[in-house]
Amino acid sequence: MAYARIQNHPYAVPGSTEYDKTQDGPQEIGQFIAISIALTGFSEAELHSTGLTQVYFEELALIVGRDIRTEFLAANHHDPAAALHSAKWAPLARNVIRLWYLGQWKGLPATWAKDEFGGTVPRGYNEFGRDVDRVISPQSYQEGLVWRAIGVNPPGAKQPGFASWVRKIP
């Protein structure tokens, strides 16, 4: 008997391209990767190996809206480190780091969108109520870069290997 694989998605909303039937600019995913490389210190290959590049790219649009994501990527892809010192973009840049390292999103400050975008909340911002403190998915926890950075497996998620407890670590 075959069983279907069930995936738990607490915020079951299709990817942003499926939702609004628009296409991302051809340069946007590249800009997102460039920003992610600069903010995390990991290579493009290491980021892709998590299997979450497209997931995080779309999640960013589902949380803050496609317009804000596009503006963030366009404004910061040449100098991503500057985003961390910008009052407008620092909360978003910190969340991109948090996505990659911990697989988590931390809700943006309550008035951030209104304060930083001329007194009105931009179209699409927090449309689905996703701008809350949460773990993105079980896979995002398991593939968090923090585990690679410290050289361990995520507790309770990946097995260390047969008889690994017998081997001495140099």
For the stretch 26-35, pLDDT in tens is: 899 999 999 9
pTM: 0.82
Q: Is the pLDDT of residue 145 over 60?
A: yes
At residue 81 the predicted structure's pLDDT band, cuts being 50, 70 and 90, is: confident
DSSP 135: E
Count structural domains, the chain. Answer: 1
End-to-end C-alpha distance for the chain, whole angstroms: 46
Quickly count: other Cβ atoms within 10 Å of residue 62's Cβ.
21
Task: Please compute Rg for the chain using Cα positions.
Answer: 18
The pLDDT tens digits of the residues spanning 86-96 come to 999 999 999 99
For residues 36 and 73, give the distance between their C-alpha atoms in angstroms, rounded to a whole number. 10
Residue 1 counted as domain residue: no
Residue 16 counted as domain residue: no
Structural domain boundaries enclosing 111: 25-150
Q: Which residues contact 35 (CB under 8 A, 6 or more apart)?
A: 73, 76, 77, 80, 83, 93, 96
